[in-house]
Amino acid sequence: MQAMLAIVQSEDAEAALDRLKPLGLPSLSRVASSGGFLRQGNTALWIAVPPGKLGPVMSALRETCQRRTTYVPAQLEVAQLASAFPVEVEVGGATVFICDVERFEQI
Ligand code: 2BA
Q: Which domain holds residue 37?
A: 2-100
**Distance between CA 39 and CA 47 in Å, rounded?**
23
Domain count, the chain: 1
Give the per-residue pLDDT at 77: 57
Domain-embedded: residue 92:
yes
DSSP state of 92: -
Pairing of strands 94-100, 87-91: unpaired
91 lines ligand 1 (CB under 6 A): yes
Nearest Cα residue to atom 6 of ligand 1: 91
Domain-embedded: residue 106:
no
Kindly report the CATH number assigned to the domain that includes residue 24.
Answer: 3.30.70.120
The one-digit pLDDT tens for each residue of the chain (107 residues) are 999 999 999 999 999 999 999 999 999 999 999 999 888 999 999 999 999 999 999 999 999 999 999 888 766 555 565 556 788 889 999 999 999 999 999 99
